[in-house]
Structure 1
Amino acid sequence: MFFELKGKDNNSKARAGVVETDHGLIETPIFMPVGTAASVKGVHQTELTNEINADIILGNTYHLYLRPKTDILSQAGGLHKFMNWHRPILTDSGGYQVYSLSNTNKINENGVKFKSHIDGSTHFFSPESSMEIQRKIGADIIMAFDECTPYPCEYNYAKRSMHMTHRWLERCKTFLNENPEHYNYKQTFFPIVQGSTYKDLRKQSAEYIANAGAEGNAIGGLSVGEPAEEMYAMTEVVCDILPWDKPRYLMGVGTPINILENIALGIDMFDCVMPTRNARNGMLFTAHGTINIKNKKWEDDFSPIDEMNHTFVDTFYTKAYLKHLFSANEYLGKQIATIHNLGFYMWLVREARKHILTGDFTDWKNSMVKQMDKRL
């Protein structure tokens, strides 16, 4: 992987860059649609490419390991070929999903024992097995195995967990050094900063991760229920330490406003299920605020879904029609809303990039935050 900075904002730490992978270029800042189980819910790969124009998507190691299973992906030639997606892919390590199964998992120095959400069968993830699975999945960017702590989290637990995550990082690096890529292209490895919402731990972890010398770095554990102000504070601490010349990925974040505020702090990459999950519940994000398309007020509104026309659905369908689809529980409604939301997210980060390169990002960002913080 190669990362090149193309410009920065005059009044913030926002920056624009390009990540080069063997499956194509990624212009940053970027949002990655979440394709949990080899599919971004409700969206064809052609729509991801031609309408939403996603530079990169995210796959989930935990879910892909359980279904369709690693051997199937290996036989297919990797996730790119299996799902017929020819642009870059990032996989998380499975650590967050193990965290979400906290009632059924057991964590120790060796790794994590957990039960499948599908059939209750018992499985074990270690730093080594997570790396092996991600090698076989074949993502362009793979993540270190870490423990994602909950919020709130006691200081001593967060400290122990952080140090274990650092030890796991060394085991991940050793495995990768001893086991080359499974396919004929390169995979890039990102370690993860942890430390909950404790400034001293975040600083210590960021310094450790920065010294690891990886080609990119990630920040985890800041999308688990903490107030936005604490997220921003921890992100600022970490970004002040992580190398300027390497991409920074804030995992699991977030709302459109979260994304803009974190771009201003120096974050380059984001992922979140919010645009797709909220779309399936009838929530549409726009530059002027959020629409609940299920509300009665839209049943006779024959204006386009979004006159800014980020994707074809925005002007091809009306609000009244989309409201009808949700009322009738037609799945097409969820598909339309999903395409709209992903198109909006992609527009938002690309518009941010334009303003970073022209040097007026901060003024634009502040204006957008005010506009988007409305219920329409």
Structure 2
Amino acid sequence: MTLANHFELLGQSDAARLGRLTTPHGVVRTPAFMPVGTLGAMKGLHWREVRDAGADIVLGNTYHLMLRPGAERIAALGGLQKFTTWNGPMLTDSGGFQVMSLAQLRKVSEKAVNFRSHIDGAAIELSPERAIEVQLLLGSNIAMQLDECVRLPAERDDIDRAMRLSLRWAERCKRAFETAPDGHMLFGIVQGGDVPELRQQSARGLIEIGFHGYAIGGLAVGEPQEVMLAMIDETAPVLPQDRPRYLMGVGTPEDILEAVARGIDMFDCVMPTRNGRHGVAFTRFGSVNLRNARHADDPRPLDAESSWPSTRNCSRAYLHHLVKSGETLGAMLLSEINIAYYQSLMSGIRAAISNGTFESFRQQTRAHWAQGDIAAL
């Protein structure tokens, strides 16, 4: 099956890439950060705040949504975009990572992965075919193949076995995706742990099968940053230039900046909202822990020059008070502040690539982070 290419590479600055990905629900500007709405909701934020912050695309999760409220129910209610009122481009993770991290009593076989629901203990079988069926029922614009993700560190034999199983599942996912509506996309997932030759074998195997885009999975699962970046260095040059590249589950602003420098186009992570719920803000001057007592009498905003109102107007003292008091508003404000910062970072990255100044932008951004609060005075 010949797969239409919905991605346009618009320019480069060194290895950093500027692109445009067209979906039936709108255009995604890349490099792009996808806020994570695992259960069809963004924790602590309304969808309008996600839109206003500048996000083009968000992420939902097959594992969670198939368990509750159920893919068939969402399909009957008009699909995930209508159900959630997001109405923009949406990518769904296949659920493989969640099975590894959440499911009880899981058993992986050639046919499928069988596990017990973490909600009620019900027995569930998730095969490549079912993973695609669920994502088609959800109506996501970008579906992911089902893969087996191995948590690092791991033995090479186990990494090799999981990588080869993921390739066989990738073939089955592509066959199951043949009934997808026009304009919808399927991404393959490169596995291979922290073994360079296995990463390259996986990438070449997926290219031979053929996908709309290629993800790098199985990273940000406990390995040091230098290992993650080394695996990107091994993998990205193998992937097709004319297809989007997605680094799954990553990450910190620094991770994103370094991965963009290595040719990655798409990212997702729960970190902006999760850290916000725990009192941590991301800013141009690095992360700020609002739980610290030194903020109690600080009238300064997090960033007086930010375009996001809450970042510009709320004092550190007020945010500290909300966090220490356990007020829900504190988590909400910091979550929106963090999502807005991530989208501002991506906007700056895209502008720098367009201008051919990405390396300068990268160095300036890192210098700001290193200065911390001194830069905000």
C-alpha separation between the residues in 1 aligned to 2:335 and 2:180?
Answer: 37
Residue 261 (structure 1) aligned with residue 258 (structure 2): yes
Task: Quote how far apart the aligned CAs of 1:120 are.
Answer: 1.5
CA distance in 1, matches of 2:118, 2:289: 31
Whether 1:346 aligns to 2:343 is: yes
Q: How far apart in 1 are the matches of 2:185 and 2:180?
A: 12
> How far off is 1:104 after superposition?
2.3
Aligned pairs for 1:156-167 (under 5 A) are 156-167=157-168
Q: Note if contact 1:289-1:373 (Cα within 8 Å) is conserved in structure 2.
A: yes
Provide the C-alpha distance between the structure 2 equivalents of 1:307 and 1:322, rounded to a whole number of angstroms: 15
Query: Which residue matches 1:326?
Result: 323
Confirm or deny: 8 A CA contact 2:103 2:117 kept in the other structure: no
8 Å contact from structure 2 (residues 213, 245) kept in 1: yes
Give the SS at the match of 2:69: helix
**Count of matched residue positions in the alignment of Structure 1 and Structure 2:** 369
Aligned match of 1:79: 80
Equivalent residue of 2:68, what SS? helix
Residue 67 (structure 2) aligns with: 66
Where do 1:195-210 residues align within 5 Å? Answer: 195-210=192-207
Distance (Å, rounded) in 2 between the aligned partners of 1:137 and 1:36: 13
Correspondent of 1:271 among 254, 268, 275: 268
Deviation at 1:66, TM superposition (A): 0.8
Change (3 A) 1:303 1:104: same
- The CA RMSD measured in Å over matched residues stands at 1.3
- In structure 2, distance between residues paired with 1:255 and 1:369: 12
3-state secondary structure, aligned to 1:31 = strand
- Give 3-state SS (helix, strand or coil) of 1:68's partner: coil
1:43 to 37, 41, 45: 45
CA offsets 1:306-365 (integer angstroms, 9 cap, x no match): 223242211231111111111111000000000000000001011011111111111221
Q: What is the match of residue 169 of structure 1?
A: 170
The SS at the match of 1:211 is helix
Paired residue for 2:94? 93
Structure 2 CA distance, aligned partners of 1:195 and 1:131? 22
TM-score (norm 1): 0.95
Q: Please tell me the residue identity of whatever aligns with 2:353.
A: I
CA offset at residue 99 of structure 1?
A: 1.1
Q: 2:243 — aligned with what? A: 246
Relative to structure 1, is the Cα distance of residues 319 and 221 closer, same or farther in structure 2, using a 3 angstrom cutoff?
same
- Letter of the 1:78 counterpart: G
Equivalent in the alignment of 1:32: 34
- Equivalent pair of 1:101/1:114 in contact (CA under 8 Å): no
> What secondary structure is seen at the aligned counterpart in 2 of 1:91?
strand
Residue segments in structure 2 that go unaligned for 5+ positions in a row = none
Distance 1:5 1:265 in 2: 15
Q: Name 1:18's counterpart in structure 2.
A: 20
Distance across 2 between alignment mates of 1:98 and 1:318 = 41
For 2:210, the aligned partner's letter is G
Please give the alpha-carbon distance, in whole angstroms, between the structure 1 residues aligned to 2:174 and 2:114: 21
- Match of residue 211 from structure 1: 208
Residue in structure 2 matched with residue 105 of structure 1 by the alignment:
106
Q: What is residue 132 of structure 2 aligned with on the other side?
A: 131
356 and 19 in structure 1: CA distance in 2 versus 1, 3 angstrom threshold: same
Paired letter, 1:77: G
Aligned to 2:353: 356
Q: Which residue of 2 aligns with 1:280?
A: 277
Paired residues of 1:257 and 1:372 also in contact (CA < 8 A)? no
Distance in 1 between the 2:82 and 2:333 partners?
Answer: 26
1:71 is aligned with what amino acid? E
Shift of 1:103: 5.3
Tell me, in whole angstroms, the C-alpha distance in 1 between the residues paired with 2:118 and 2:302.
37
Deviation readout 1:19-60 (Å, 9 max, x if unpaired): 11111111100000000000010110111112x121000001
Q: Residue 154 of structure 1 corresponds to which residue in structure 2?
A: 155
What residue is the counterpart of 1:6 in the other structure?
10
Q: Is the 8 A contact 1:310 1:340 kept in 2?
A: no
Q: Give 5+ residue unaligned stretches, structure 1.
A: none
SS at match of 2:300: coil
| CA distance, structure 1, for counterparts of residue 305 and residue 39 of structure 2 | 31
Given that 1:92 and 1:142 are in contact with CA atoms closer than 8 Å, whether structure 2 keeps it comes out as yes
